[in-house]
Amino acid sequence: MSDSEILHLALRPRSYDIHVGGGLLDQAGALAAPLLKSPGAIIISDQNVAPLYLQRLCDSLTGAGIECPSIVIPAGEQTKDFHHFEELLNTLLDMNIERSTTLIALGGGVIGDLTGFAASVILRGVDYIQVPTTLLAQVDSAVGGKTGIDTAHGKNLVGAFYQPRLVIADLDTLDTLPAGELRAGYAETIKYGLINDAEFFAWLEGAGAALLDGDADARRRAVVHSCRAKAEIVAEDEREGGRRALLNLGHTFGHALEAQAGFSGALLHGEAVAIGCVMAFELSARLGLCPAEDAARIRTHYSAIGLPTSPPAIDGVAWDADQLLDHMAADKKVEDGAITFILARAIGAAFIAKDIDPGDVRAVLAGSV
C-alpha cells in the first residue's frame, strides 16, 4: 500500500477514509476487515465489471477471512430503477442478510448508487463499502454518500444520504475502462476546477490528454485532488443545505438531457454533465455574470478532449428547449417552483443562483439544440 494515498472525510461518527492508488483491489480484504461487524460481506457488481475484477476482489477478502458471496446485475443507467432495485433487495433477503452484513459496491456510479441505497433501507440500514472502478465514480459518485435511483419523473429523485464505511479507488481499474466512459468521468473531474479552483482547471488543460491516454501520475493527481475537494465540501455540508449544491454545476441541464434521452447509454451521465457545464457558463455569460471568453475556453477544452458541448443526434430523441425546461421543473433542487442553477462569475468562481428568467434559460437551450 506504499503507493496509495489516504484521504479522510470528517463527518464525526460517519467519518471514513478514501484510499487512492494502484493495486488496491489486492489490499481490499486487509482494508475492510477492521471495519466489518461480522466476517461476511456481499459484493454487488454488474455484468461488465464482474468478469474483470470480481474474483480478484473476492480473493482479497477471503484471504482476510471474509466470506464474499456476490450478486451480478445488468450494466447501465437503466438498471437504476425501481424494478431492478426491488430485485436487488429481494435477492439480498433471499441470501438471509443480517444487520451485521456489509455490502460492497464493485463498479461505477450505477452500482454505487444502487448498493448504497439498498444498504440504507434493507433491515433499516446496513454498512457498505465503495470500490469504484470508473473515473466518474472515483472522482465523484463514490464519495459523499449520495445514493438513489431514477424514476420516470427524473434522475435520482428517490434516494438517501447514506455514507459508506470506506472507499477503495484502485487506479489500475481505469486501464480497462472504455475510452468513452473515461472521458465521461473526466467531465466530472473538470467540474472541480470550474467550481472553485481555476489553477486545477488550467492544469487539466495541459494534462487532460495525457490522463486520458493512461498517464498514471496524471490520473493519480486528478483523482486525489477531486476526492480531496469533494471531501472538504461534504464535511462542511453533508446534506446539501448550502455549499455542497455547487457540486451540481452542469447537472441541472445535464439531468434534463439524460431524462430526454431516456436514461439510455446513448448519452452518458458525464457527457450530459459536460454539455450542462457549457450551458451553465453560456447562461452566466448571457446574463453578464462571467466573461464570454471563459465560456469559450471551457467549450474549447471539452471539444479538444473529445467531449460533446451540445446535445448529440440520438435516434428517436428530439431535443426541444421547452421539453428540457419541463424536465428541469421536476428536478429535486426546485424550491418554491423556481429552478436552482449553479452559475459562475469566472472559471473557479461558481455560485448558487435562483430566480433566473426562464426566457434566458430557454434561449441558451434553443441555441444548443
Q: Which residue in the list 191, 248, 271, 301 is annotated as catalytic? A: 248
Q: Which of 80, 225, 230, 333 is catalytic?
A: 230
Does residue 255 have an active-site annotation? yes
Note if 269 is an active site residue. yes
Residue 188 annotated among the catalytic residues of the structure: yes
Long-range contacts of 25-28 (CB under 8 A, 24+ apart): 25/53, 25/56, 25/57, 25/60, 25/131, 25/168, 25/170, 25/172, 25/173, 26/56, 26/60, 27/1, 27/60, 27/168, 28/57, 28/60, 28/61, 28/131, 28/168
| Residue among 155, 220, 255, 301 flagged as catalytic | 255
Task: Choose the catalytic residue: 188, 238, 271, 282.
Answer: 188
- Asked whether 187 and 277 are in contact (CB, 8 A), the reply is yes
**251 an active-site residue?**
yes
165, 191, 225, 269: the catalytic one is: 269
Name the active-site residue from 12, 96, 124, 335.
124
Q: Is 214 left (phi over 0), alpha (psi -120 to 50) or beta?
A: left
Q: Which of 19, 191, 225, 251 is catalytic?
A: 251
Residue 244 is a catalytic residue: yes
Q: What is the 3-state secondary structure (H, E, C) of the chain?
A: CCCCEEEEECCHHHCEEEEEECCHHHHHHHHHHHHCCCCEEEEEEECCCHHHHHHHHHHHHHHCCCECCEEEECCCHHHCCHHHHHHHHHHHHHCCCCCCCEEEEEECHHHHHHHHHHHHHHHHCCEEEEEECCHHHHHHHCCCCEEEEEECCEEEEEEEECCCCEEEEEHHHHHHCCHHHHHHHHHHHHHHHHHHCHHHHHHHHHHHHHHHHCCHHHHHHHHHHHHHHHHHHHHHCCCCCCHHHHHHCCHHHHHHHHHHCCCCCCCCHHHHHHHHHHHHHHHHHHCCCCCHHHHHHHHHHHHHHCCCCCCCCCCCCCCCHHHHHHHHHCCCCCECCECCEEEECCCCCEEEECCCCHHHHHHHHHHHC
- Please say if 230 is a catalytic residue: yes
List 19, 80, 146, 301, catalytic entry: 146
Cell of 277: 457545464
Out of 240, 258, 271, 282, the active site residue is 240
The active-site residue, picked from 80, 244, 299, 333, is 244
The residues assigned a catalytic role are 124, 146, 188, 230, 240, 244, 248, 251, 255, 269
